[in-house]
């Protein structure tokens, strides 16, 4: 009886709490939907229609009437009865004047308003107008669902075969999902940060506390993802890591249509509400976002922004601002972004294309019960609230290019610390989520699996104290044959202040051991300063363009090694110092001395030398400059969080004659500039410019071969090998040698062609050219080569991703150094794009 009484008491409450009305607002004449129309109920609950003119309002009180208004239309008020579950509201156009906007006689008033906003961006953008600022930010990320949105029934699934419906199985997915989501979220994470900004430097985030359900240490790479831009004032606005043309970009009027919807007040400041939508050509190319801008009528500053994307996944990003009277500026106060399943088939690219969503066609033979499924109601939400805002106080930003820094103890903060900064209290469901996911992760060893994946991507296999170098285990080249080896370096578990590194290898063709051993000690953590030394006995390709700041070891996926015939052995002692002048400006100083021996028939003969092996003592400085890159200083080291272009590598080397028996005194400068032009979801153009120059006499091992990748083997089909990454595919090995050269590589990668669901071949157009010369060619004996004085030219086409990463390419050599026989100018190569699958 008590249970029955409880049932009858609770049912009326549930009915009232679920009071809901849905509908659509349209133009009465053309029946087009009216986005962002205002809908207010008799209970003073309100909402805006979405981009399709639809709305949903839920209220704890009975909804008996709603009022709908839209600028340029007559407002209507309609009564709602218990039978009204979905209403269609038609608004009639009316003529309204907005005297506040200075307009021309025939122009859309919103256009002048947007022009004013664009003209005043530098005044309203706090990163342009303020000298300094700092604030704290609390962020919470949830992957969750509303338990009331799904039924807990166990459903039946049928198969339709030859027109007959046959029972297949029971489906308890909804039942299990509702049982789980009633008590916990699917995922939760929290973060507390301190942001600092100093004019002339980049904004810097220091993560004070971080917690991710299921992980003892957070995924630092996830913390670096940009879910939503800090402000609306950049030329591009990033949503879920993908850039879109900003509705107030300098050229925004070419890409968007605008409409003034209303005037309202935010913090007692009069504000225009402007709707923006991509023009049809941009909407087709997925170049724009759709939403609302709230603009201060006096300063034309943004007071609130809403941006939406509609497709297989719906994305809605909101940003609010708070007015700081003392500085007459609007400062970002909170950010929200929500990702939900969409209701149309338009594909979505998130995080720059790293995450792709496309619609799957249903299987017509499977009959599933109607109603919502877990994937229909699950959503991702990220909420950020800013607090403790200080403007134009004393702020010092060091290492400005390290835009993100993670405190060593951030993942160990106590509950008291979290409660101090939480602006959104954690619920019982949140606490349960942490507890359950932490237990599951510990049982399944999730932290270890993530650590393994992270190191595999860097070419390492982690053990407790040693990270093994996977690139040292097995290699192939023409001189050593099969090269088997073992090597690595100690990791942070061994020590955070010094490391020991070594490797050993054996060639099955030359029957020789190669090895290296050494170590390094950290002098400064903030500037990533290390001093180290090593002894190495190994081989290297003669006349290659090498940089001390790059790893030049052989790679098993580099097919050029199979045909390289000119190597030299070196036995050297090296001391080096690495230091980050800025996180995006890395320097390495190196002093080296040792013996060099060409492993081919070669002799250097000049007026005072007759050498087939020689000593070199060199001092070098290498610079790696990535001006647009951004980095994180994390407990596991320095991580790149934004990889941009151009990327510049420079090296100066001085061989010091007579020092420690050095036989040569030359000066060498090497340069490499790599730039990539990424057009929004279109073709990509890559440009590589590289070159070098040697002043003074140098042996062939320290000259330039321009990275050839062609062999004159017969019959002709034996010449079909794998294409290199940035090599001349029609140039013979050591056909040209230079003591000064420059080369230009241009690749234009077209958008993939969608032939079928899984077959997306990609075409890349390639052209390369090189120019070089050499002095004293007669000094280099027992080897035949030519000069690049007349230049070298080749062009080709790559057809990639034909089958499991495989493709092919063809290149043709032309110009002054063209071969007489046509077939000797033609190169056909296989291509391969290596994918790890995660």
pLDDT digits (tens, 9 = 90+) for 181-209: 888 999 999 999 999 999 888 788 999 99
In percent, the amount of the chain with pLDDT more than 70 equals 86
User: How do residues 118-170 score in pLDDT, each as one tens digit?
Assistant: 999 999 999 999 999 999 999 999 998 888 777 666 665 556 666 666 655 65
Instruction: Fill in the DSSP letter of residue 53.
Output: S
- Give the residue carrying structure tokens 């664009």: 118
Residue 93 Cα distances to 27, 76, 114, 263, 271, angstroms = 8, 12, 24, 18, 23
Contact 255, 282 (CB under 8 A): yes
Which range has the worst mean pLDDT, 251-255, 342-346, 668-672, 737-741?
342-346
**34: closest CA among 283, 262, 306?**
262
- Whether the pLDDT of residue 466 is over 80: the answer is yes
pLDDT band at 447 (very low <50, low <70, confident <90, very high): confident
- Whether the pLDDT of residue 354 is over 60: the answer is no
Contact 699, 765 (CB under 8 A): no
User: How do residues 660-703 score in pLDDT, each as one tens digit?
Assistant: 999 999 999 999 999 999 876 678 999 999 999 999 999 999 99
Instruction: Give pLDDT, residue 221.
Output: 75
- Taking residues 526-552, what's their average pLDDT? 88
Q: Where are the beta strands (DSSP E) in 478-606?
A: 481-490, 498-507, 513-524, 529-541, 567-582, 585-598, 603-605
Q: How far is 130 from 324, CA to CA, in rounded Å? A: 12
**Neighbouring C-beta atoms of residue 227, cutoff 10 Å:** 22
Residues 6+ apart with CB under 8 A from 696: 655, 664, 665, 666, 667
φ, ψ of residue 725 in degrees (nearest 5): -80, -50
- Whether the pLDDT of residue 172 is over 80: the answer is no
Contact 420, 192 (CB under 8 A): no
Residues 6+ apart with CB under 8 A from 211: 189, 190, 191, 218, 411, 413, 418, 434
φ, ψ of residue 166 in degrees (nearest 5): -120, 135
- Whether the pLDDT of residue 11 is over 80: the answer is no
- Whether the pLDDT of residue 102 is over 50: the answer is no
φ, ψ of residue 812 in degrees (nearest 5): -130, 135
In percent, the amount of the chain with pLDDT more than 90 equals 48
- Whether the pLDDT of residue 489 is over 90: the answer is yes
- Taking residues 328-353, what's their average pLDDT? 74
Contact 504, 513 (CB under 8 A): yes
Q: How far is 517 from 712, CA to CA, in rounded Å? A: 39
Which range has the worst mean pLDDT, 164-168, 197-201, 300-304, 477-481?
164-168
Alpha-carbon dihedral 299, 305, 310, 313, rounded to 10 degrees:
150
- Whether the pLDDT of residue 734 is over 80: the answer is yes
- Taking residues 575-598, what's their average pLDDT? 95
**565: closest CA among 538, 537, 543?**
543
DSSP conformation letters of 102-121: ---SSS-HHHHHHHHHHHTH
Which range has the worst mean pLDDT, 689-693, 705-709, 754-758?
754-758
Q: How far is CA 728 from the centre of its chain?
A: 30
Instruction: Give pLDDT, residue 17.
Output: 34
Which range has the worst mean pLDDT, 364-373, 599-608, 612-621, 738-747?
364-373
User: How do residues 361-413 score in pLDDT, each as one tens digit?
Assistant: 454 444 455 556 777 788 889 999 999 999 999 888 876 556 788 888 898 99
> What average pLDDT is seen over the chain?
85
**Neighbouring C-beta atoms of residue 683, cutoff 10 Å:** 14
Burial of residue 610 (number of CB atoms within 10 Å: 0-12, 13-18, 19+): exposed
Instruction: Give pLDDT, residue 748.
Output: 94
Residues 6+ apart with CB under 8 A from 421: 136, 138, 192, 208, 209, 387
Identify which has the larger pLDDT, 752 or 115.
115
Instruction: Give pLDDT, residue 383.
Output: 93
12: left (phi over 0), alpha (psi -120 to 50) or beta: alpha
Instruction: Give pLDDT, residue 289.
Output: 85
Identify which has the larger pLDDT, 763 or 635.
763
Question: What angle do the packed helices 428-444 and 446-457 form, to 10 degrees?
Answer: 70
Q: Where are the domains of the chain?
A: 16-91, 117-443, 704-838
- Whether the pLDDT of residue 833 is over 90: the answer is no
pLDDT band at 13 (very low <50, low <70, confident <90, very high): very low
**94: closest CA among 73, 70, 124?**
73
CATH superfamily of 16-91: Carboxypeptidase-like, regulatory domain (2.60.40.1120)
Alpha-carbon dihedral 580, 581, 587, 593, rounded to 10 degrees:
-100
Opening angle at CA 769, ends 768 and 770, nearest 5: 135
- Whether the pLDDT of residue 766 is over 80: the answer is yes
Q: How far is 754 from 358, CA to CA, in rounded Å? A: 13
pLDDT band at 345 (very low <50, low <70, confident <90, very high): low
Instruction: Give pLDDT, residue 356.
Output: 47
- Whether the pLDDT of residue 10 is over 50: the answer is no
Instruction: Give pLDDT, residue 613.
Output: 96
- Whether the pLDDT of residue 821 is over 50: the answer is yes
pLDDT band at 95 (very low <50, low <70, confident <90, very high): low
Instruction: Give pLDDT, residue 622.
Output: 96
């Amino acid at each position: 009886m008590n249970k029955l009484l409880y049932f009858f008491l609770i049912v009326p409450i549930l009915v009232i709490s679920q009071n809901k009305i849905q509908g659509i607002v349209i133009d009465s004449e053309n029946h087009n939907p009216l986005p962002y129309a205002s809908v207010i109920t008799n209970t003073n609950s309100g909402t805006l229609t979405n981009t399709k003119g639809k709305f949903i309002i839920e209220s704890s009180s009975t909804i008996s009437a709603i009022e709908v208004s839209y600028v340029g239309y007559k407002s209507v008020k309609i009564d709602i009865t218990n039978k009204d579950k979905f209403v269609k509201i038609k608004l009639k156009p009316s003529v309204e004047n907005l005297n506040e906007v200075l307009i021309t006689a025939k122009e859309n008033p919103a256009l002048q308003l947007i022009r004013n906003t664009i003209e005043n961006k530098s005044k309203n953008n706090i990163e342009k107008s303020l000298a300094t600022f700092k604030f704290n930010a609390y962020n919470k990320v949830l992957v969750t669902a509303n338990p009331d949105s799904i039924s807990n029934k166990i459903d039946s699934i049928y198969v339709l075969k030859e027109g007959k419906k046959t029972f297949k199985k029971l489906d308890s997915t909804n039942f299990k999902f509702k049982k789980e989501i009633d008590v916990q979220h699917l995922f939760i994470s929290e973060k507390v940060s301190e942001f600092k900004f100093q004019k002339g430097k980049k904004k810097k985030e220091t993560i004070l506390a971080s917690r991710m359900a299921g992980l003892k240490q957070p995924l630092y790479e996830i913390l670096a993802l940009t879910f939503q831009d800090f402000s609306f004032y950049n030329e591009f606005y990033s949503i879920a890591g993908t850039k879109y043309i900003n509705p107030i970009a300098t050229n925004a009027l070419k890409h968007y249509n605008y409409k003034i919807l209303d005037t309202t007040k935010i913090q007692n400041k009069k504000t225009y509400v402007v709707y923006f939508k991509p023009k049809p050509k941009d909407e087709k190319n997925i170049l724009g976002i759709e939403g609302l801008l709230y603009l201060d009528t006096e300063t034309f500053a943004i007071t609130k922004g809403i941006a939406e994307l509609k497709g297989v996944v719906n994305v809605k990003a909101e940003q609010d601002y708070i007015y700081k009277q003392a500085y007459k500026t609007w400062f970002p106060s909170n950010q929200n972004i929500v990702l939900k399943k969409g209701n149309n088939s338009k594909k979505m690219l998130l995080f720059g294309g790293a995450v792709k969503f496309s619609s799957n066609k249903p299987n017509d033979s499977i009959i599933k019960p109607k109603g919502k499924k877990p994937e229909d109601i699950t959503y991702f939400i990220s909420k950020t609230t800013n607090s403790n805002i200080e403007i134009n106080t004393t702020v010092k930003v060091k290492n400005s290019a390290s835009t993100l820094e993670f405190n060593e103890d951030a993942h160990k903060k106590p509950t008291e610390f979290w409660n101090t900064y939480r602006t959104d209290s954690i619920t019982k469901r949140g606490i349960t989520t942490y507890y359950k996911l932490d237990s599951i992760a510990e049982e399944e060893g999730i932290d270890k699996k993530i650590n393994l994946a992270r190191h595999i991507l860097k070419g390492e296999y982690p053990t407790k104290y040693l990270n093994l170098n996977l690139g040292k285990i097995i290699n192939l080249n023409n001189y050593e044959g099969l090269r088997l080896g073992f090597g690595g370096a100690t990791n942070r578990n061994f020590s955070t202040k010094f490391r020991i590194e070594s490797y050993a290898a054996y060639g099955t063709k030359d029957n020789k051991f190669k090895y290296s051993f050494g170590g390094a000690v950290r002098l400064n953590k903030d500037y990533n300063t290390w001093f180290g030394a090593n002894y190495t006995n190994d081989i290297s390709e003669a006349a290659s363009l090498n940089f001390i700041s790059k790893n030049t070891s052989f790679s098993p996926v580099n097919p050029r090694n199979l045909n390289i015939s000119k190597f030299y052995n070196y036995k050297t002692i090296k001391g080096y110092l690495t230091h980050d002048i800025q996180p995006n400006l890395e320097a390495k100083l190196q002093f080296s001395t040792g013996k060099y021996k060409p492993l081919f028939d070669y002799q250097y003969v000049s007026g005072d030398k007759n050498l087939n092996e020689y000593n070199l003592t060199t001092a070098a400085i290498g610079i790696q400059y990535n001006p647009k890159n951004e980095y994180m200083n994390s407990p596991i080291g320095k991580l790149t969080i934004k990889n941009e272009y151009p990327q510049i590598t420079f090296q100066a080397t001085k061989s010091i004659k007579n020092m420690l028996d050095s036989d040569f005194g030359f000066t060498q400068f090497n340069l490499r500039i790599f730039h990539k032009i990424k057009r929004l979801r279109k073709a990509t153009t890559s440009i590589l410019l590289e070159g070098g120059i040697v002043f003074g006499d140098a042996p062939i091992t320290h000259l330039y071969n321009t990275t050839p990748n062609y062999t004159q083997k017969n019959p002709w089909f034996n010449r079909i090998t794998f294409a290199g990454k940035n090599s001349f595919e029609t140039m013979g090995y050591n056909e040209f040698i230079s003591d000064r050269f420059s080369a230009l590589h241009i690749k234009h990668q077209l958008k993939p062609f969608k032939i079928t669901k899984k077959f997306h071949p990609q075409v890349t157009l390639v052209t390369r050219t090189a120019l070089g010369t050499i002095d004293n060619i007669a000094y280099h004996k027992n080897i035949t080569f030519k000069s690049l004085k007349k230049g070298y030219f080749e062009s080709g086409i790559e057809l990639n991703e034909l089958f499991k990463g495989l493709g092919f390419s063809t290149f043709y050599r032309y110009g002054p150094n063209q071969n007489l026989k046509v077939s000797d100018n033609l190169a056909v190569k296989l291509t391969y794009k290596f994918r790890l699958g995660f």
